[in-house]
Structure 1
Amino acid sequence: MTEYGRGQGPEPWHPTDPLYGDQGWEGQQQYQQQPQQATPYAQGGQGYQDPYAQQGYGTDPYQQQAAYQQQYPQQGYVDPHAQVYGDQGQAQAYEQTGWNQGYDTPGQHGQAYDGNWETGQAAMAYNAPPADPYGGQQPDLYGTPEAYPPPQPPGRRQQPPQPVVDWEPEPEPEPVRQAPREAREPEESHPFFTGDDDEDGYEDEEPSSRRGRGGRGDDRERERRGKEKKRKGKNGVACLVVAAVLVGGVGGIGYFGYQFWQGQFGEAPDYAGTGTGEVQVEIPKGAFGNEIGNILKQAGVVKSVDAFVAAQQKNAKGNSIQAGAYTLKKEMSAESAVALMLDPASQANLIIPEGKRNAWVYEQLDTRLDLKPGTTKEIAFEKADSLGLPDWAKNHDKLKDPLEGFLFPASYPVAKGGKPEDALKKMVSRANAEYTKLDLEGQAKKHGVENAWELLTVASLVQAEGKTHDDFRKMAEVIYNRLQPDNTETNRKLQFDSALNYLKGQSEIKISEQEANTNQDPYNTYTQVGLPPGPISNPGVEALAAMLDPTKDGWMYFVATDGMNKTEFAKTYAEFKTLKDKFNANTD
């Protein structure tokens, strides 16, 4: 028995192992012709039996397997002779040859293996022969003398035998040569944008018939190159986007830089001089400088908005331009336009004073709009219900004017070329907004009247008879006291001269007792009980506030003792008589 049979010599080197090398089954055929020699197991003499003799194959099964592998090269190797050894004699053979070192208990059938066998590898001593991966069921491929060279002296490593190769490797295919780059057709696009900067010279695809054993590696190489080209293509697109963004950014910076330069150093287009002719413009409430400039430009007053805004900023009072109508000139310099708008003489606003009747407002509108006298009044009566009156102000009988009390005292822009109904709508809208804030509908019952309409009528009487803020509150108390059902002083009659004057369209201080006591018109409070059919003027803010907050001192009478501005109040009829005598003395 040789030293190798006992597993004590150096481990042989098997570079041409047909089971692990690249030769496949072709390299094994050379061993089929060699004479069979005794295996280490047979030399052990421990009752080892050839397992092939019991299978009844008759021929070498590896010849059949080699043929199968040549016919189906893609199929893996399947060992047809896999067996489980449990024979005691085999275990003894392994023990003698040193192959039983991986067992916990040698020779025992079905025993567990240690940790090395769990990973599929046998635990063996150093320099022991490798474990047979096929369970010892293949023929001894190393039975020839050439497979077992004589042992070397101690300390010197035995050199492995040179492998015997009976086949030549298939030659590698020659790379497809391409024509010189100068002779090729010019590229349609630059690699910067396409990302196709591959200069390796290899074709993307290769016929499958020319692929050798390294075909799978070539596939991986082509896949890598494909991914690299895609990545380069994406990089090119990204560069194109970045370039576009940079170009756009530079253009935007240039544009805004030019605008900034124009605003800082360039002069805006402007007219020269104070202009010619006349034109009226209307500036809405809350308009800013650029909005005002745009209105003036459209009307032909200034040449550009920027010029007007610059002139407004230069003027110390430029920001005090108020909303309203202005009479200006065409083709004015921006500086002249700002100065004229700050002059009250240019303002074309219609200012309605507190206590003015609607008749006065109609006349003013006709004059400012160059209309025939009576035009605005006619439109007011015809379109009263479409001018914005609240529901509680509609459908009242015996009214002298359906809009009385709703042309709220304020300033309104009225420019030439406008329509009367437009101006009336603004006035009614303003009055409706003010009355809504005061909640006239909710306050009526608290003051002993039926509705908001009667409450507004009380305010109009206060406005017409009072002279000062204190007069307004006392006048409101006189009205409420005279409307009381238990009033025996005047028997619920107001007896106000202002109501009779409204009826007659006049403003007289002295009214004859005969006229006052004989006129039966609903607006004559000397003959009619209670309030007149509607308001007799347009009350202002102070009169409205006094109407909602009257005094509670018991006032029942009042007399303008100087005939003009001084009003004195009395609680009894006797006090009233004294005040009346004082009046007569001052007016004779």
Structure 2
Amino acid sequence: MTEYGRGHGSEPWHPEDPLYGDQGWAGHQTQQGQVPYGDDPQQQQYAQDPQYQQPYPQQAQYQQNQQQAQYQQQAQQQAQYPQQQYVQDPQYPGHQQGYAPQYAQQAPHPQQVQHPQQPVYDSQGWDTGQHQYMATAPADPYAGVDPYAQQPAGGYPGEGPDLYTTDEAYPPPQPPGRRHLERQLPEQQDEEPDDSFFAGGGDGDDEDGDDGGAGGRRGGRSKGGQPKKRSGMACLIAAVVILGVVGGGGYYGYTYLKAKFGAAEDFAGEGTTELVDVEIPKDAGLGQMGRILKEAGVVASAQAFVDAATANPKGKSIQPGIYPMPKKMSAAAAVALMIDPTKLNVITVTEGMRNARVYAAIDKKLGKPEGTTKDIALRDAKSLGLPAWAGNHPKIMDPLEGFLYPARYDLSKDSTPESLLKQMVANATAKYSELGIESKAKDLGLENPLQVVTVASLVNAEGKNHDDFRKMSEVVYNRLKKTNDVTNRKIEFDSTYNYIKGTSDLNFNISEARKFVHAYNTHNVEGLPPGPIGNPGADALTATLNPDHGGWMFFVSVDGEKTTFTQTYDEHLKLVDEFQARQKQKNGG
């Protein structure tokens, strides 16, 4: 039993409905046999309690519209039936108690057509379901209009808008007899798919949509009023997805924190016995070196190598080149190996180095038998890229001497003696062409470009720096002059005698050297040797092309460090005596 005056059974209602309760249903139809209010006087008393009359302004407006419609309908009926009167029920405002037993003063015309049924109302104003046929009456503008249908707003001046015409409004209230939900039997109920998010249908709970029923209920319910069921498999999938996201995020966070603040991954020890060639390109930074080493399997991480190289005082002096390195070695061991230039898998041709030492280095690096590269050089000299003006002297000892340009040459698993020799000759030829020695040979009083290289090799062998080189070249040019009556156009460089002997001895017997006959022995023959006695570098070459012009004829290094130059033979003899006295003291003589 409700406190709104309905019967003993519960009526469906919505607490947010602005017209909940039966605030009077003037002229509304009911289902046959139903009474809008119970017989209990106490219920009727509560039904008219003022505090429940008009809880919302919309309700009063709605009742006003309904009453106006009733008055117009009564006026039409009274015009048709003047003697018929309605009795107002004092207990229920807006309800007609019934009809007075009045009849029309004039009977209907026999030719009048019987018109649609007129509802018969009971003692409380509700339709009894019985109908009677009435004579044709003047056209009723409200005939056939459902009294419960929504009336257009704005029918009277000052009338407010009808709040039931908007999309968001609740449906108009139904008569009490129509408020009972007709529940479908289980076999008649349509199976409604679960449109919840995890079941894969719809866009979640139907929170903002109506279910289409008379009660206008909302909030994710199915048509039968039961809560929507969640699929267990959908929940399991959702849980797996959530765990995956959380786990992936946790792993990413752990990896980030470890990389940011933890120690970099590193191997231990000197590595395995397996060697790999690691090539470090020119201008590579520590980070790039670390990535190359990691890709080759030498170190565990690039960051570990960067840290080790930064901690080592010589870590930033690592040179580009090819390094044979063990796999899986610690970053510190890798840095220690790479800062040692002897560990590079390279061949470095130094300025002034003789070809004999270059050949031996190639054989050793490539694991070839001793003499292999020398035999190839002498046999295949013409096919190794020498310029046309090289190697033409019949007494030349080595056609490639002076053409193995000083530089560092990286070796790889594909390197061969031939490939290395060709690379060295190509570098020398390019440098000579760059300096323009062919065009400058005549200006220097030389016969051909080969003699320019020969002078540069002599200067490189005797001098110690660029200033020495320029003075040395001046000495050579002055001794080659035909007016030289001091040395009689003999160069008299000890380096030529040592070249023949394959030595670098500073203390040898000058008398024996002068008696030794050889085309390369400048103590014995006039002029330049047939070819270079070494491979001159850039400093020696530029000094040869730009001599000092100081008139120097003699030089001697008294202390083995500094070279002193003189213009006269007497000055030279004094320096020679000083040098010999120093040598005797050094040897304990």
Length-normalised TM-score, structure 2: 0.48
More helix, by proportion:
1
